[in-house]
Structure 1
Amino acid sequence: MFNLPRVSAISFVFLGLVACGPLPVYYNTGSDQTRTNSDTLSCKVNALKDAPVANQLRHRPPVYYPGRQHCNNGNCWTTPGYWVDGGTYTVDVNLGLRSQLEQRCMAQKGYRRLELPRCSKEQIAALQSLPGRNQRASGLPENACAVRQSNGNTIILPPL
């Protein structure tokens, strides 16, 4: 039978590993974070206009579990097999195109896409004490990291 706790545990482990991986960010030497976030939002909106969400309903195939033979003190019986619904899910068929349009728009504005490591708790705590964190950057520090805020914006932090 379909084991929901095992699937949930595997999903949480996968999501936890994804949250530890590098964070994709756009970077342009000389642009401050406010400008970068504004350009990113503008490109996302334009990409959404050109490739709107187009969800399609998909079905996983059903799974058949065959019957089993059980024996006890020489008496044997067979339990019948059964089918389990594979489930239904949705897929946004324009997601890949929308991502390409956003990346092209950002490239036309002079940005390049990088993957930076996620910031440690110490670097995130130091975020509040950074004076002028929206100042123009003279270059990306070698050990810079990124943090995604709750509003979806990404901030690049210098190493501690």
Structure 2
Amino acid sequence: MPRSKLLSLAALALLSGCGPLGLYYREGVAVSRMNSDLTDCEVSALQKVPVSQQIRYTPLRMVPVRICDSHGKNCVVTYEMEGGDPYTVDVNKSLRKKVEAQCMTAKGYEWVELPLCPTSVAGAAPKTVTTVMPPLTPKSCAIQRGGGRWQIVTPG
């Protein structure tokens, strides 16, 4: 993999922890129950809308290459073709996510995105993880606790 792509992926991985926490929410429900319901909905969606991998190709393009003699004279322009690299895409992925969301909505959940808590709030909060979905207010925020675990906080 080219170095520029590796650097882009590394930057994306670092920034992925900077955005809001998105989750299915239903007040008073245990997080373990939400995770179980989500797994059920993911399996159901996969059965209804199976993976459909298709091979696609990156666009082809002609790149001019200038070749000159050792004195920089008698230059000739040739062309090289770039692209045409194969990659796969699951064409059913977005539909499967919609079916998953419908299933979770039918179970009483809604998709919410909570902003990450400011450092001052995160530092003052007890070091724990949310086990039961608390009531949310416009002030509610989330603290990432690692391993896919998080804490929902509502500053006073």
- Give the TM-score band, short-chain normalised: 0.7 to 0.9
Q: Which residue of 2 aligns with 1:91?
A: 89
Q: Which residue of 2 aligns with 1:33?
A: 31
One-letter amino acid matched to 1:5: R
Q: How many residues align?
A: 151
Q: Structure 1 29/65 Cα, relative in aligned 2: closer, same or farther at 3 Å?
A: same
Q: 1:140 aligns with which of 124, 136, 141?
A: 136
Q: Structure 1 75/126 Cα, relative in aligned 2: closer, same or farther at 3 Å?
A: same
139-148 vs 61-70, which moves further = 139-148
SS of residue matched to 1:76:
coil
Identity of aligned residues (%): 30
Q: Structure 1 11/136 Cα, relative in aligned 2: closer, same or farther at 3 Å?
A: closer
1:84-110 superposed Cα distances (whole Å, 9 cap, x missing partner): 233111111111111111111111111
TM-score (norm 2): 0.76
SS of residue matched to 2:74:
strand
**RMSD of equivalent CA atoms:** 3.1
Structure 2's unaligned 5+ residue stretches are none
1:124-152 superposed Cα distances (whole Å, 9 cap, x missing partner): 9812xx6xx43463x125323154854xx
Q: Structure 1 56/8 Cα, relative in aligned 2: closer, same or farther at 3 Å?
A: same
Deviation at 1:12, TM superposition (A): 3.0
46-55 vs 70-79, which moves further = 70-79
33-42 vs 116-125, which moves further = 116-125
Q: Which residue of 2 aligns with 1:63?
A: 61
Deviation at 1:30, TM superposition (A): 1.7
Once residues 133 and 3 of structure 2 are traced to their aligned partners in structure 1, the CA distance between those partners, rounded to angstroms, is 49
SS of residue matched to 1:43:
helix
